[in-house]
Amino acid sequence: MLSTRVLDGRRISREIQEELRPRIDALRAKSRAPALAVVLVGSDPASQIYVRNKVKACQELGIRSLDVSRPASITNQELLALIQSFNIDPEVDGILVQAPLPKHVDAEKVVLAVDPSKDADGFHPFNVGMLVANRRGPRPCTPAGIIEMLMRYNIPIAGRRAVVVGRSDIVGKPMALMLMHENATVTVCHSRTRDLAGECRRAELLVVAMGKPAAITADYIKPGAVVVDVGMNRIAEEAEVKRLFSHEPSRIASFAKNGSALVGDVEPLAMQNLAGAYTPVPGGVGPLTIAMLMANTVALAEQHLRC
């Protein structure tokens, strides 16, 4: 077994948020606190938890949060009108519409409806273009948090061979761009990639965001590589939990109590045995996403209030 470093996302998240406090105090002293509008449509339990955590982070930092819930039956027109009301409100700095949205809602129109200068998620095509050009603007929170974590752990990126598994607009594509901006040599893998294991084994830095529990096994990991597991999958099969967490009796005991367990996209024991550094699940990438959402909101408020 290699000597490995656990990349503690909770610690890095706390660091980032503490660094935001004096900036928030400066905004409040000059004009007002930053404000983030968070829109939740429907009653998806996971989305409710995500929104609750985001609102809690706002409250702890002194960011004003507008927590707006709407039923799953909301029409496209009603949701777009709600977003527009936040667009024109000078007291709102950031807007976030929690995904996923009900199937009848046009998600593309929702993304386009958000004013790019209030796009706390960094998903608007204008801000995606700013990312491609490596110009200042709100960045998608999860990949931005990963870059922050790597830098704060002094993990080199420039010149390294990086592999990103997954090509979503939320994580995979912006992650590849951000790594390229840091001068990594980047390969993006996806469902049509031939010899995925072979591609992954070439990586000195492996970022996995494919949404399949424990799909990346020991055969995919180069010994000593840095492995960033973005996945967050809930499993409820007892045999699978015991197989994946045979080395962690506490996780098995937690499963027996709760009836489910969280696992990333990378097989936990393989990651722990082979990686030179890795992000645990939970406690790795997840907390960074919220920290960077707060950072985006503060930066947008600074632009609006010219601080």
Q: State the DSSP string of 138-190.
A: ---HHHHHHHHHHHHTT---TT-EEEEE---TTTHHHHHHHHHHTT-EEEEE-
Chain centre distance of CA 6: 18
Q: What is the mean pLDDT of residues 240-253?
A: 94
**CA of 289: how far to CAs of 14, 199, 283, 307, in Å?**
12, 27, 11, 24
Query: Of these residues, 93, 119, 121, 265, which one is catalytic?
Result: 121
Query: Of these residues, 17, 54, 93, 272, which one is catalytic?
Result: 54
pLDDT at 87: 98
CA dist., res. 260 & res. 5, Å (int): 27
Nearest to 262 by CA among 279, 203, 225: 279
Q: Is the pLDDT of residue 4 over 70?
A: yes
**CA of 184: how far to CAs of 19, 149, 224, 226, in Å?**
27, 16, 17, 13
How sure is the predictor about 306, in pLDDT bands with cuts at 50, 70 and 90? Answer: confident
CA dist., res. 268 & res. 158, Å (int): 27
What Rg, from alpha-carbon coordinates, does the chain have? 20
Q: For residue 121, indicate whether it is catalytic.
A: yes
Q: For residue 98, indicate whether it is catalytic.
A: yes
pLDDT at 1: 42
Q: What is the mean pLDDT of residues 169-179?
A: 98
Give the Cβ contact number of residue 185 at 10 Å.
15
pLDDT at 307: 60
Q: Is the pLDDT of residue 2 over 60?
A: no
Q: What is the mean pLDDT of residues 109-131?
A: 98
Q: Mean of the per-residue pLDDT values for the chain?
A: 96
Q: What is the b/e burial string over 206-245, where b = at least 16 CB atoms within 10 angstroms of the residue's CB?
A: bbbbbeebbbbeeebbbeebbbbbbbbeebeeeeebeebb
Q: What is the b/e burial string over 98-126, where b = at least 16 CB atoms within 10 angstroms of the residue's CB?
A: beebeeebeeeebbebbbbbbbbbbbbee
Portion of the chain with pLDDT greater than 70, in percent: 99
Query: Of these residues, 98, 222, 265, 272, which one is catalytic?
Result: 98
pLDDT at 3: 60
Q: Is the pLDDT of residue 49 over 60?
A: yes
Domains detected in the chain: 32-115 (3.40.50.10860), 140-286 (3.40.50.720)
CB-CB contact of 241 with 259 (8 Å) = no
pLDDT at 46: 86
Q: What is the mean pLDDT of residues 60-81?
A: 97
Chain centre distance of CA 22: 24
Q: Which two tokens stand for residue 48?
A: 């409710």
Q: What is the mean pLDDT of residues 37-46?
A: 94
Q: What is the mean pLDDT of residues 236-244?
A: 95
pLDDT tens-digit readout, 272-305: 999 999 999 999 999 999 999 999 999 999 999 9
